[in-house]
Amino acid sequence: MQILSEISNGIAGIAERVGPSVVRVEARRHAPGSGIVWAADGTIVTADHVIEQEDEIRVGLPDGQLVAATLVGRDPGTDIAVLRAQASGLTAPSWSGGDQTKVGQLVVAVTRPGRTVRARLGIISAAGEAWRAPTGGEFDRYLETDVTPGIGFSGGALVDAGGAVLGMNTAGLLRRAAITVPVPTLRKVAGALLTHGKIRRGYLGIGAHPVRLPATLEQQVGQRVGLIVVSVESGSPAERGGLVLGDVIVAVDGTPVRSHDDVASQLTSEKIGTSLRFRLLRGGAAKELSVTVAER
């Protein structure tokens, strides 16, 4: 009984410790979301999908005040938005790098759907390497919990047993999965939004699907799968660079291409304005083109 009492008190202590750093975000009609204090000056990070209306955003503070907030920037790809609440002296949490996060580790999801905080106990159900979400956002780590999303879940904090925040919870990235945006990704995206108001991403203007190569072409290029171009937007960088329907992309800047993600991973902000070298198959013959990346 003593052990259970200690565990119970520990979980309650985590919610009490992190609660002052979690706020309520009112920016959609049906249900509020949560947010995490990023800085004492009123900077708040939350889930992008809870921002349905960019005007008349309100933030419910831990002390019960309801204050106005403005949208600094948003990134649907990573489901991160940054707000500036008309408040000061807020309490930012202790952040964890999450490098030692393991599957099975106990965690607590702390939210504020109303005036008071709510807590849900769970475990890390999956932890992986860097990944790209279906929305196109790039994440430093994959973190999934078994915590059932409830009202206010998105934008709330996932906290480890030591009381440090592992990241921001969201139900807006994958269906039927509670995903946590890890701290390194939060820092990167929030920093860019605070500086530029947006995330710069490269753009080519093509639609493409993986395709199995015939045996003769497989031997020629040294790989089994390529990416066939099924659409080219008018006036796009791809059109200006000479890509046409039916081209099969097999490499970009010397890196083999087998999926759309292999191309998308090349379209970082650093590549905007630079040329990528495409190796492709056209009519069964190998060809190389240069395409200058534009900003999306």
Of residues 21, 34, 49, 247, which has the active-site annotation?
A: 49
Task: Please name the amino acid found at residue 169.
Answer: N
Is 234 an annotated catalytic residue? no
Element spanning 289, H or E? strand 285-292
- State the catalytic residue, choosing from 75, 79, 160, 247: 79
Expressed in percent and rounded to 5, the helix, strand and coil fractions of the chain are: 20, 40, 40
Name the pLDDT band for 260 (thresholds 50, 70, 90): confident
Confidence check: pLDDT of 57 > 80: yes
As a whole number of angstroms, the distance between CA 168 and CA 153 comes to 9
Q: What is the pTM of this model?
A: 0.80
Could you tell me where in the chain the CATH 2.30.42.10 domains are found? Answer: 202-295
Q: Which fold has domain 202-295?
A: Pdz3 Domain (2.30.42)
**Annotation says 260 is catalytic:** no
pLDDT at site 139: 92
Which pLDDT score is estimated for 29? 82
In the predicted model, is pLDDT for residue 100 greater than 90? Answer: no
Q: Which CATH class is domain 106-185?
A: mainly beta
Question: Chain-wide mean pLDDT for the chain?
Answer: 92
Q: Which residue ranges does the chain devote to CATH 2.40.10.10?
A: 2-85, 106-185
* pLDDT of 266 over the 80 cut: yes
Q: What is the pLDDT of residue 124?
A: 96
pLDDT above 90 covers a percentage of the chain that reads 70
Q: Measuring CA to CA, which residue among 97, 100, 110 is closest to residue 19?
A: 110
154 annotated active-site:
yes
Given a cut of 90, is residue 279 above it in pLDDT? yes
Chain segment 138-197, per-residue pLDDT in tens: 899 999 999 999 889 999 999 999 999 999 999 999 888 899 999 999 999 999 999 988
Task: Please identify which of the residues 21, 34, 96, 154 carries the catalytic annotation.
Answer: 154
Least confident of 125-134, 178-187, 236-245: 125-134
63-98 tens-digit pLDDT:
999 999 999 999 998 999 999 999 999 999 999 976
The pLDDT value recorded for residue 225 is: 92
Distance of CA 294 to the CA centre of its chain: 22
Domain 2-85: CATH superfamily is: Trypsin-like serine proteases (2.40.10.10)
